[in-house]
Structures are given as C-alpha cells and as structure tokens.
Structure 1
Amino acid sequence: MSPTSGEKSRLYKNLRLGIDPFNIRLLQINNSRPEDKTKGNWSVPISMNMQTFKLDTAPPFRCLSYVWGNPELHSVFVNGQLIRITKNLLGFLRRLRAGSSRPDGWIWVDAICIDQTNDVERTQQVKGMGAIYSKADMVMAWLGWEWDRQGDGSDNGRNPLAPEVEDASEYAVDLLVLIAKQLRAYMANGGKVWSKNFSQYALDDPAMYTMLDMKA
C-alpha cells in the first residue's frame, strides 16, 4: 500500500516539478524544540520543510533506502500540512531527528518527495532515480528497530519516553563498513572478490571472515 492520501494534493500543487525529470523535491527535518524534551522526543510530531530544486544545483543531500513495511499509516507535517506515511518511515524520521545523523540536512525520500498519486510524475522521477542517488552525498539504509522482529517497521514494545539507545541496525551498518574496508585490503593484496573461492561463502560463514582477516 502506497503511503499516500488526498491530504497531499495541495502540498504537491504548490511544489510542482513540471516535466523536467531532474527537478526534485528535498526535505529538511525541523529539530525538536527545547520544550519538547519534557514531553518525550518520540511523542512529538515530526515536522519537515520541503522545497523544489534542480538536481544539478541542489544543495548537498542524502537519499534514504528503506522498506516501506507495514501499511499502517501515521501522520507527519510537511510545510505545515498533515500527510500520511508508513510506520517504518516514521521510525526512520524519529531516529534521524533524535540525532543519529544530521537532522538539519536535506534528504530525499521517495514516498514523500514524489507525488505517488501522480502517475506521470512518478514515472519521470523513477526514471531519474539513478541520477538522484548518484548526486546524493550519502545513501542511508534504514534497517529498522532492534525490537522489530517481524520486519514490519513496528515500534511496539518500546517505551516512547525512554532515551534512544544504539540499536541492531547501527551494529549492522558498522559491520558493513568494516567488511567494505577489509574487502578493499583483500583486493589490494591480489584477492578477487568475484572468484569461486570467495563467493562460495555466505555472509555469515566464519570462513569468509577468516579470508578477510576478521573475527566472526
């Protein structure tokens, strides 16, 4: 189910992209106000600003890669207007605002930055996604919450007033960064990543970590 609603129509009408596939919309998350801390950061609604840019002259931005997940919809504010997004995306936006990265930077999120109700625009933007991702300073992968054992983006079971702690997704990203580093060293020493000798091992096979000089 697409995270869309009729409530978005006025928002996109005021931020038209036209026929140029390299016009894009970018989002900026508003930081929590000091007084919001007393309410619990997780209970405060997400508020964002969205603007249109030409891709070639856009400010530095990051792209989000994530699974749309549970079709249960939740509310956020974009340019002061209430819109609906999936629970999994809400979790990412909460985490970003909490300070896991730069909450004041520009981000591109397909579910919001593309008008999902406009077939022509969606087709044009999908065709240009390769260029959008290539232009981005960083691509962020949201792997979900540590307590989300079902993979549905749920935050059930957590205390919304509790301080955020490092979760499993951050450990996964740290591991991927380490693997990439070791792969570069492996290739620099003449190792071939796509060789039969290497590709026979699964990511969780201790033999692969031995080849990369890592502890399993």
Structure 2
Amino acid sequence: MPITYRPLKGSGKEVEIRLLELEPAPQLTYPLRAKLRHIKLHEANYAALSYIWGEKKAKRGNIEILYKTKKKRFGISSSTYIYDHITGNSLTRALKHLRYHRDKITTWIDALCINQDDDKEKSWHIPLMGSIYSMAAKVHAWLGPNLNDESTDTNTAFELADEFWSLAQGIQSTRIPLHENNWLEAYLAMASPQLSSDEA
C-alpha cells in the first residue's frame, strides 16, 4: 500500500524533512519496521543513507512503516496508519545492514523521506539534498552485495568494513605496524568469494 504523505512545511532553516526511525533487529532475516516522522531540518539529528537504486526489474522487498497521515488538531490525536511499503531490493538490503541489533537508528533516505509521487515536493526537496547530507551526523554509503554473489547477503561492503575494523583493533592492541601491501592482500582475499573465511 503506497504511503499517504502529509505535506512538508516551512522554508529556509525552518523547512521540515521526514526522517525514518528504523527498528532494531537481531538478524538480517527479520522484517523491516520503521516509523516516519516530520522534523525541522535544523533541529534534526540523523544519519543519511546514500545507496545504489538498482535495476527496476530486480527482486523487490518491503518495509512496514508507521506514519501519521493527519496533523494533531485541537488536542485530538491524528490518524496513524501502518503501511506495508514496497522497496527496491538494493534499499531493502541496505536497510537490513544499516539497522542496529538493539537500538533504533534515525535516518534520511530519499526514496522514503521524499514523496516520490509528488512532483511539486520533489522540485524543491531535491535541491535541498546537499544541505540534508551536509547536516547529517553520519552519511552511510551502500555499495551493494558482492557482484559475484547476488543471491546472498554476505560479502557486503558493510561486512567488509566490520572485518577491517576488527583487524585494525587487533593491530592497534599489538602495536605491530602492518605494511600497505598486507592490507591490500587482506582486502583482496576478503573480497574474493572463492576463499574460505580461514584463508581470508
């Protein structure tokens, strides 16, 4: 079911944006759940996500989004709906890898935080994207799964980053400098799906 978006308000520094609060999940296979809310850009604390949109014919995913479609008036609660929104495969994978195991993460994603069916909103929101990315506390980049293995969620850019972080922590604790060629060799080994984890 497509999301019925509330219009964004304000202008300049007072302009509103939508943010996605992504629910945690202990495993990649758990379904995606989130809440969509409005906030003034200059008051927002969030991480932005940049990702490859992927091919239109690729396998699709979905995300369950809780969203208030009408604003609160005269102290009466507005209507809140749960939307089962269809997402592209690339975005689905990115969100599954981005979310935390125990805590929510607040993020801005163009495909969900901009009403893609509203040309008027897109016309003023898209030029604002430079400010949205520059004001984000973090910007995550999703490069997609390993090109040699489209069917799995392994060997992704985020997982490689985790491997390198662990390796760097180990090196720091031993205080042994590692030559540049060793880093390159380790990267190529981990990026190769033919090698076992022990060999990598």
TM value normalised by structure 1:
0.60
Q: For residues 125 and 173 of structure 1, do their structure 2 counterparts lie closer, same or farther at Cα, with a shift above 3 Å needed?
A: farther
Q: For residues 144 and 8 of structure 1, do their structure 2 counterparts lie closer, same or farther at Cα, with a shift above 3 Å needed?
A: same
Which of 16, 22, 26 pairs up with 2:19?
A: 26
Normalized per residue, the structure richer in helix is 1
Rounded Cα–Cα distance in structure 2 between residues aligned with 1:168 and 1:45: 19
Deviations 1:12-67 (A, max 9, x none): 1xx320363731000111123xxxx6xxx344321101100110111x21111111
Which of 30, 36, 39 pairs up with 1:44?
A: 30
Q: For residues 169 and 54 of structure 1, do their structure 2 counterparts lie closer, same or farther at Cα, with a shift above 3 Å needed?
A: same
Aligned length: 148
Structure 2, gaps ≥5 residues long? 67-81, 165-178, 185-200
Aligned pairs for 1:137-148 (under 5 A) are 137-146=137-146, 148=147
* Offset of residue 136 of structure 1: 0.3
The one-letter code sitting in structure 2 at the alignment partner of 1:53 is I
Normalized per residue, the structure richer in strand is 2
Which position in structure 2 is the counterpart of 1:85?
Answer: 87
Contact 1:115 1:122 in 2 (8 A): yes
Structure 1, gaps ≥5 residues long? 1-6, 159-163, 176-212
Deviations 1:101-150 (A, max 9, x none): x851210000000000000101111110111111101111001123x338
Deviations 1:73-92 (A, max 9, x none): 32111112111110000001
Matched, 1:169 2:157: yes
Identity among equivalent pairs (%): 27
* Offset of residue 173 of structure 1: 8.8
Contact 2:47 2:137 in 1 (8 A): yes
Contact 2:3 2:83 in 1 (8 A): no
Contact 2:23 2:104 in 1 (8 A): yes
The one-letter code sitting in structure 1 at the alignment partner of 2:2 is K
